[in-house]
Amino acid sequence: MQRFWKPGEIFPRELVPGVTAKIASGERIMFSLVTLEPNAVVPEHSHPHEQMGMMVSGTMEFSIAGETRTFSGDEIYLVPGGVPHRAVAGPDGAVALDVFAPPREEYR
Amino acid sequence: MQRFWKPGEIFPRELVPGVTAKIASGERIMFSLVTLEPNAVVPEHSHPHEQMGMMVSGTMEFSIAGETRTFSGDEIYLVPGGVPHRAVAGPDGAVALDVFAPPREEYR
């Protein structure tokens, strides 16, 4: 099993237009380093996996169960499994580290 | 359950001398934003929880099962459950986001 990753060497996959992710995964934890282009939108969706994330750069308007906040700096958010959520990048785009447990099989 | 955290407002707890952590946790995932002072040492230890981490700033020499690498930038590492590991901060210290699944009850 791979134990070290340089995100610069991970090929990005497109999640939705304007949003790409670099994936690294263990057995119980999956990292998804997400880059959103300016004003890119991740439409509302949900999944049974718990998700926690930390902003890396830029700003992102994030809605969790209908509650919307703008995240920046190194702020952290939690999306419990099954809860609908949606993201809109700010005018300079955003980078965030999303973490899933269990890993999302469709991203492997 | 808390869903949003500003790390600047989380009280840091000392893990070992020169190493503090800001903890935010869900049900399945725990975030530990760790700050290591220059040359600080996290002695070798292990825990049954899987651990993945991403560097935020600085450099850190990290040994996993006896294999040592120096991490910097936004590099990512995986420590499978039960595997001994050890960290030594570089001369400018380090900040890393460590993620545990399941959460470590002793950090709640």
pLDDT band at B32 (very low <50, low <70, confident <90, very high): very high
Residue B1 has what pLDDT?
82
Inspect the interface and report whether the beta carbons of B26 and A76 lie closer than 8 Å: no
Measured between beta carbons, the chain A residues lying within 8 angstroms of B76 are 4-7, 24, 31, 33
pLDDT band at A108 (very low <50, low <70, confident <90, very high): confident
Which SS3 state, helix, strand or coil, does residue B48 take? coil
Q: Among A12, A31, A36, which residue's Cα sits nearest to residue A86?
A: A36
pLDDT of B108 > 90? The answer is no
Global pTM value: 0.97
ipTM: 0.96
Tell me the pLDDT tens digit for each residue of A61-90: 999 998 999 999 999 999 999 999 999 999
Q: Is B57 on the interface with A (CB under 8 A)?
A: no
Q: B69 and B61 in contact (C-beta within 8 Å)?
A: yes
Q: B29 and B99 in contact (C-beta within 8 Å)?
A: yes
Residue A1 has what pLDDT?
82
Structure tokens at B60: 């850190």
Residue B84 has what pLDDT?
97
Nearest CA in chain A to B75: A6
pLDDT of B33 > 90? The answer is yes
Q: A4 and B54 in contact (C-beta within 8 Å)?
A: no
Most distant CA pair in chain B, distance: 38
pLDDT of A34 > 90? The answer is yes
